[in-house]
Amino acid sequence: QKEVEQNSGPLSVPEGAIASLNCTYSDRGSQSFFWYRQYSGKSPELIMSIYSNGDKEDGRFTAQLNKASQYVSLLIRDSQPSDSATYLCAVTGYSTLTFGKGTMLLVSP
Amino acid sequence: DAMVIQNPRYQVTQFGKPVTLSCSQTLNHNVMYWYQQKSSQAPKLLFHYYDKDFNNEADTPDNFQSRRPNTSFCFLDIRSPGLGDAAMYLCATSGPRQGENIQYFGAGTRLSVL
């Protein structure tokens, strides 16, 4: 059974700090990796996708992928209170997504 | 803007009373998904359509059915809702080709069962 594991948190960081969110997955055949942000009571919103080993940067967000270690992470630089949300890691091979339960991030002013 | 639209945003039904949730999309994506998400849990895939091909997850209860009359619309029917079916129901799309796995979500429908 395909599994995606995340620390449920909450991860608390002060405003302006770097938040580091981690995710591990069980299926070595996974090809595509995503980070979704979900505010309370809202639907998931895609913030990053990554397909190959290494880093991918988009604004304040950096996704990191290490397929050998089956590990994907998300760094949020200069964290803002508006970044407070649950971050879902999602992984897929060639068909459907498997989501982790998410990590709650709290950014304090 | 092209998007995924779910109606209604909030739905209240009675125990055992059938309910239908709808999803429409203007992205012209060929794959549509229905997820169930309960509080503090991961979205759970119920089923998906690749074009008209229906794919049911093995653990989706028979109480849940789906219809996709055309590319743009997809419906989730809950035949006899129980208290345990109260959740957020999320519709998502991806495409235009299978393998492009970025999924775009609608705003969701929160279902309450009284």
Residues of A in contact with B110 (CB under 8 A): 41
Note which residues in 49-78 of chain B have CB less than 8 A from chain A. Answer: none
Beta strands in chain B (DSSP E): 4-7, 10-13, 19-25, 31-37, 44-50, 53-56, 64-67, 73-78, 87-94, 104-105, 109-113
Q: Which of B30, B4, B38, B9 is nearest to B21 (CA)?
A: B9
pLDDT level of residue B26 (50, 70, 90 thresholds): very high
Cis amide bond preceding A10, omega within 30 = yes
**B52: exposed, middle or buried (C-beta count within 10 Å: 0-12, 13-18, 19+)?**
exposed
Res A2: pLDDT: 76
Model pLDDT for residues A46-56, shown as the tens digit of each residue:
999 999 999 99
CB atoms within 10 A of CB B63: 14
Query: Which of B41, B48, B101 has the CB atom closest to A32's CB atom?
Result: B101
Query: Which of A34, A94, A102 has the CB atom closest to B42's CB atom?
Result: A102
pLDDT level of residue B96 (50, 70, 90 thresholds): low
For testing contact with chain B, the best of A97, A98, A99, A101 (most B CBs within 10 A): A97
Q: Report whether A24 contacts A33 (CB < 8 A).
A: no
Query: By CA distance, what is A97's nearest residue in B?
Result: B101
Phi, psi torsion values for A81, nearest 5 degrees: -55, -30
C-alpha distances in angstroms, B99 versus B23, B50, B108, B113?
A: 22, 11, 24, 36
Res B95: pLDDT: 80
Model pLDDT for residues B30-45, shown as the tens digit of each residue:
899 999 999 989 999 9
Asked if the model's pLDDT at residue A40 lies above 90, the reply is yes
Give B72's DSSP letter: S
Query: By CA distance, what is A32's nearest residue in B?
Result: B101
Model pLDDT for residues A83-92, shown as the tens digit of each residue:
999 999 999 8
Structure tokens at B104: 């775009």
Asked if the model's pLDDT at residue A33 lies above 90, the reply is yes
The span from the CA of B27 to the CA of B23, in Å, is: 12
For testing contact with chain A, the best of B101, B102, B105, B110 (most A CBs within 10 A): B101
The distance in angstroms from the start CA to the end CA of chain B is 36
Asked if the model's pLDDT at residue B78 lies above 80, the reply is yes
Mean pLDDT for chain B?
92
